[in-house]
Amino acid sequence: MTDGLKASQIKGGIRPSKSFDQGRVCKDESCSTKLSIYNKRDHCFNHAPVKYPRVRGRILQETA
């Protein structure tokens, strides 16, 4: 009867407040953007690999 509440439970237990190394910069060679210690990625937001969700198996492409 209360399946909705059950689904909202957090899995994996308690998460330690982990931070990452300070002074990291974007992995892009031409980029020196500093990364937040709380940013677990290796790239700044400009260079982070972006996953485009597929929309019904079709990718729209602009033709020059």
CB of 45 to Zn ion, least distance (A): 8
Which is it for the CA torsion 7, 11, 13, 14, positive or negative? negative
Which is it for the CA torsion 34, 36, 40, 46, positive or negative? negative
- Segment near Zn ion (CB under 5 A), from 6-14, 23-31, 34-42, 52-60? 23-31
Contacts of 48 (CB under 8 A, 6+ apart): 41
Nearer to Zn ion, 23 or 57 (CB): 23
Question: By CB under 5 A, is residue 24 in contact with Zn ion?
Answer: no
**Number of residues in contact with Zn ion, rule: CB under 5 A?**
7
Question: By CB under 5 A, is residue 41 in contact with Zn ion?
Answer: no
